[in-house]
Amino acid sequence: MALALRAITLLGLAAWCTAAISAALHDVLHLDGSATLDDVAQTCNVDAVQVANIRQLHPILHDLVNTTFFRLFRVNLKNPSCPFWGQPEKEKAKKDGGSTCTGSVPTLGDPKSLFGGMSKSSKPAFTKASADFSQISAPAAEPACGVESDGDSAGSRREEVQEAEKLDLKLTVQEKVAQQERENETEVCEFEEDLPTYWVDMCSGDSAKGLVLEDVNLIKNPERNTGYNGSHIWQAMYNENCFEVGNLLPRGRFGKDESMCYEERVLYRLLSGWHASTTISIVKNFYAPGTKQKGGWAPNLERFMETIGQHPERAKNLHFAFVVLLRAVKKSAPFLQSYQYSTGDDVEDRKTRVLMTRLLDSQLLSVCSPLFEAFDETRLFRESADPQQRSQLKRQFKSVFQNITVLVDCVQCQRCRLHAKLFSLGLGTALKALLSPPELIGNSITRDEIVAMVNVLQKLSESMEDIRVLTTAYWEKSGNNKLAVSAGDMAASRKASSAAPGSSTAALGGAMEATTRRSLLDSALAAVRQAQLLGAITAQEEEVLLGFLVAKAGENEDVLLLARHYADRPELFARIALQAAGSAPSIAAAPATKKLLGEPGAPADAVVVGGGLAGMVATLTLLDRGARVVMVEKQPYLGGNSGKASSGINAALETSVESLIKDTTKSAGSLARPELIKRLAESSADAVSWLRDRTKVDLSMRSQLGGHTVQRTLRPSNAFVGAEITFAAGQVLTKMAAEKPGQFRLLLKSKWTGLSQKSGAWEASVQANGTELLLQGASFVIASGGFGHDANEVESLLLKHRPDLADFPTTLGSQTTGDGVKIARDIGADLVDLDRVQLHPTGFVDLSKPQEKTKTLAAELLRGVGGLILDRQGRRITDELGTRQAVVNAELKAAKEGRNLLGPNPPNTYALVLNSKAAKVADRHVTLYSKKGLLRKVEGLAGLAKELEVKQSELNKTFAAYNDAAKAGKDEFGRTVFPAHLPIESDETFYVGRIVPVIHYTMGGIAINPDGQVLKKDGSVIPSLYAIGEASGGVHGDNRLAGNSLLECTVFGRHVGLNLPMTTAASQAPASALPAQAAEAAAAAPAPSEELRVITPEELAKHNTKQDSWVALYGKVYDLTEYAEEHPGGADAIWDVAGTDGTETFETVHNKELLETMGFAPLGVLKAT
C-alpha cells in the first residue's frame, strides 16, 4: 500500500510540475502551452517542447557541454575585422544605409515590442541604437547591459565592467592535450555554389579564415552582463534580414505579416530566438558579485519581465529555434554517432560518445510527435513557381545569414563576441545540415561547427529552463505566487534536473527525487534497448525488464542506481537488471538468454552481405532450401543499385545461348573469361524464369539494346525492371525476417567492417546502428557491390586504379564504396580488372544543378528506341547502338575536337533527342524523365533548333541523312539496326535532354570461379567464401554488355544459393512466391469499394506532411506515412505527392499490380471532382 501511494505521489508530482510550468507560461508569459509554435508541425506545441526539455534533453545537454571536447571552442578574439563601422572603438553607425528592401521588415524600432516592425515608410539602416534593450531606436537613460552597483561609484562600476569582460584563457593539462589533438586536424570549407553543395559554406568559422586562433573554455567564460551595449549590432542584424527578390514573389504566405515571405520569417525567428537566449543569459547574471548578493551573480528580475516576461512571442521564438536545432541534430545523427570526439583522453572521449548516444537515442523526444521532426526545412524555397526566382531566393537567404555572421566581428566586448560567434556558427551549422543532402554532412561539418551546434542547442535548452526559474523568482519577489511553489523548491528541482547519468550532482540518498528518477529511468530504458539490439537479451526478456522498470516504480531504485554507472555497458546492465527483476515479488524470473541467429554460438548456414539483387537472389534461394541466413545491408532498405536498373535483364529464352555468349565475349574484349561467360549464358534462361516466377514480375517486353545482335533484353511492359524486381523480392524477405527470426535475420543500416575465420566458421564484424556486432556463419557470401562511389574514401580503389576518372560524375549510390572488395583482399583474395571501370554514355544533366556529382541514368532504352546523340552543331557523333564503351569513346573524342555542348554543362556534354514516335515506345521512361525536368518537350524542328541553339538547317541535314541511312540499312558509323517507327519528321514533337558520360559500373573485383567461389592469387579456392554481383570481378571483362548486370546477379546468386553447403538437416518447401503482404492484404482489405468511406480532395489535402502522408492511388486513399522512409526510391518520392492524387507519378515507375501486392489497406475512396 505504501509503495502504491508512493508511486502515485511521484506520478502526481510529475504531473503537477508539468501543470505548474504550463501555468507559468500561460499566466505569466501569456503563452498558451497548447498553442503551436507556428512554422513547425502542428503536432508540436509549447508544452510538448518544454516538457521534453525538462524531462530529459536539458540534463543530457548539461553534461555533454561540460566534457572536454565540447567546452573548448576555437576562435579569433584579438583582431576582429568589422566592415560596417569605420572606428570599432567608437562604433558609430552610418545613417540611412540605402537599403532597397521593400515592405515592413521586423526590427527593434518599436519601443513597445523588442521584435516589433518598422514603420511602413522607414528603410532599414545601420543606425546608432538606443542603449535600452527594448528601445533600440531612441536614446535611453540606462544602458541595457549596465552593471548595477547599488550606489557604488562610477569608477567602481568601470572596474567591475572591465573585470566582467575579461576572459579566462587558462587551460588545464587535459585541455592542452585536447588542444594539441586539434593541431593535427585540417578543417576546410567547400565553396561550390551549385547544388547540392550550395549550402556547405553557409557558415564559416574562424578556422577557415586563416586567423590567429585560441581555444577558450566556455564553462569558465559563461555569457553574462559585461556593461557592453550591443543594441546597434542587433539593429543591424535585423535590418540585414531583408530579402529583395522582385515583386512577383508572393509574400506573407503563412503569417499575418504580409510584408514577410516564409524564408524571411524563418531567419527572423531564429535571430529572435538567439536574441532572446542572449537576453536571458544577461538578465540571469546581471548584477556583479557583491552588488546584490555576495560571492555570485544575481538576476535582474524586473529586466527579465520587461524584456521577456511581457513578450510571449519572444519565448515562442526561443522554442522555435530550439526545435530547428533539434531537427538539425537529428538529421546529423549518423555523422554525430560515428564521430570520434578525440581529445587525447580515452576515458573522457568514451564518456562524450556515450552522452552523445544518449542524446541521439533520447526516449522522450516522442513527446512532440515527434519533436525532432517538428520543423520541416523542405517548406523553404518551394512556394515560388519560377525556378529562377527560387534560385534568387536561395542566394538571398544564404547571403543574408552570412552578412549577419559578419556583423558579429563588430562586437567589441571579447566575452560578448565569443558567445555571439558561438551562436552564429551553431545556427549556421544547423542550417547547413538541414539544407544539404545527408551524404554531404560528414564531409562538410567541422569540429568547431559540431561544438558550436551542440552548445547552441544547450544554450536554448538552458534558456527555456531559465524562463521557468526566473518567472518563479519574479513572482516570489513580488509576493504574488502564481505557481504556489517556493523558489527553494524550484531551485531544488532545477538542481535535480541537471543531474544526468554520470553526473556527480545526482541526489540518491533516501527516496529519489522525481526528476532524478526520470533521468536514470531514461538511461535504464536506453540500455535495455541497446542490449536487445546487441542480442544480449531476447524480446521476452526485454519485455520483462521494461515492465519492471516502468510498472514497479517503488522496487527498482537499485537498478536505477545501477543505470547511473553501467548504462554505457548495456549487456552487463541487462544481465544484472534481469536478476533484480527475477527477485521482484510480482515479476517472474527471467528466462535463460537465447542467442540470436548468427551470434557466436548460434552460427548461420550463411551470412550474406549486400541487399542488392545478387544478395537477395542468393538469400531467397537459400531460404527456400531451408537454410538459416543472416543478411547485412548498409542502406535502410533493400535493393541497392539494382533498384535503379531500368533497361532490362538479358536472357537466352527465345534466342540462342551461343549468340549471348558471342555478344558478351565481344563486349568483354581481350579480358573475356570463357568459363564465366559460359555460366552466365547457359544458366540465363533457367535463372531468369525462376526470378520471374518467384517475384511475379512481368517481363513480357523484349528489346534490343546497344551491343546486342538480337532482341533478348526483358523488362516489364509498364514499369522499371529494377524497381519492380527488387521491391517484390524485398517484400518476401522482410516478411520472412519478421515471421521466422530463427531462420532469417535481416540487419539494415549495418556496415560490414571485417572478416576472419575461426574454427572452420566465418566471423564478421558489423556496425549496426552504432553498435559493434559479431556474426558467425558456416559460409560467407559477399554481395556488397562495387567501388564506383569511393572517391572520397580514406582508401579509394577508384582513384588508385583510375585517377583519370576522379572528376567524372556517377550514377551509383553513395553506399558503393567497395567495402567487400577491400576486406576480401585483406584476407587473401585475389582482385582482378580493377582498372576496368565502365562509363555509361548517358547520364542526365539536370539543368537546375548541372555540376551535381550523382546523375540520373538515361536508360539504354532511350537509344534503343531511336534516341540520337547530337553535338553542338546538331550533328550525330556515333552509332548510338554501339557498345557503351564505343559510345563513350566517341563522346570523349568529339569533346577533344570541341564538339561538346558549352557551359554551364559539365565537360563532355551532348544532347539526347527523341522524336515523338520513339518517345511513344518508351512512354513510361519519357514521362518520368520529363516530370523530373531531365527531358524537355519542344514542338517541331524550329523548337528543337531553338532549344539546342543550333541552325535548323543543320538539324534538317542530320535527320535527312539518318532517314536515308535507315532506308538503306546502314549509316556512316556502321549502324545497321534502326527502329521501325521512322522517318523523323520536321513537324513532330521532340524530347531533348543533356547527357554526359558517367561512372556506372566497376567490372573489376574479387576473383571467382564459375561456382562463385573466391579465389586466392594462386588460383586456389578459399573454402566457403563466395562473391557475387558487382563485388566479383572477371565476368564482364573489359566492358559489361547492357542488361548483363541484373543477369549476373540472378545467375550467380541463384547458383551460389543452390550449391552452398548447408548444415541444416531439413529442407523446407519454398516460401510463397508472392511479396510479403499480398495474401494478407487480399484477405484483410475491404472487398468492395463501397464499404470504404468517401474522402474528399479537401480532406486528402490536409494530410500533406512528412508526419502525415496520405496519397491517392487509382481512386483510393492510402496512409503512406510510416512506409515513406522505407521506400527504396527515397522518401521524397512519397512526400512530394502527399495530400494529392499520386497515380500519374506512381505509374511512371510502378504499376497497379505492384500496388496490390504491397499490403496497404486503403483508408477510403477518393471522391470524384
The residues annotated as belonging to the active site are 840, 863
Q: If DSSP codes are grouped into helix, strand and coil, which group holds residue 164?
A: helix
Is-contact 865 912, C-beta < 8 A? no
Q: If DSSP codes are grouped into helix, strand and coil, which group holds residue 1120?
A: coil
Q: Which of 115, 127, 138, 117 is nearest to 91 (CA)?
A: 127
Grid coordinates of 216: 577558450
Name the residue type at position 208: A
Alpha-carbon distance of 323 to 318, in angstroms, equals 9
Alpha-carbon distance of 925 to 288, in angstroms, equals 71
- Other CB atoms within a 10 A radius of the CB of residue 942 amount to 13
- Other CB atoms within a 10 A radius of the CB of residue 653 amount to 15
Cα dihedral 24, 27, 32, 38, rounded to 10, equals: -80
Contacts of 531 (CB under 8 A, 6+ apart): 537, 542, 570, 571, 573, 574
Question: Bridge-partner residues for 772, per DSSP?
Answer: 767
Cα dihedral 1123, 1128, 1132, 1137, rounded to 10, equals: -60
CA geometry: angle 393, 843, 820, nearest 5 deg: 105
Alpha-carbon distance of 534 to 1155, in angstroms, equals 35
Is-contact 389 248, C-beta < 8 A? yes
Contacts of 479 (CB under 8 A, 6+ apart): none
Contacts of 634 (CB under 8 A, 6+ apart): 749, 750, 751, 752, 784, 815, 819
Grid coordinates of 735: 516478411
Q: Which of 1159, 639, 770 is nearest to 631 (CA)?
A: 639
Is-contact 46 316, C-beta < 8 A? yes
Alpha-carbon distance of 40 to 323, in angstroms, equals 8
Alpha-carbon distance of 47 to 306, in angstroms, equals 23
- Estimate the crossing angle of helix 557-566 against helix 539-551, to 10 degrees: 120
Phi (first) and psi of residue 138, to 5 degrees: -135, 145
Contacts of 120 (CB under 8 A, 6+ apart): 104
Q: If DSSP codes are grouped into helix, strand and coil, which group holds residue 905?
A: coil
Alpha-carbon distance of 1068 to 1073, in angstroms, equals 14
Give residue for cell 535483364.
Answer: 649
Helix (DSSP H) and strand (DSSP E) numbers for the chain:
40, 27
CA geometry: angle 809, 811, 812, nearest 5 deg: 110
Q: Which helix (H) or strand (E) holds 268?
A: helix 262-284
Contacts of 242 (CB under 8 A, 6+ apart): 99, 101, 105, 124, 264, 400
Give residue for cell 568601470.
Answer: 158
Alpha-carbon distance of 812 to 641, in angstroms, equals 6
Is-contact 368 374, C-beta < 8 A? yes
1013-1015/989-1002 β-pairing: unpaired
Q: If DSSP codes are grouped into helix, strand and coil, which group holds residue 903?
A: coil
Grid coordinates of 42: 502542428
Question: Bridge-partner residues for 1165, per DSSP?
Answer: 1094, 1116
Question: Bridge-partner residues for 915, per DSSP?
Answer: 990
Question: Bridge-partner residues for 763, per DSSP?
Answer: 756, 776
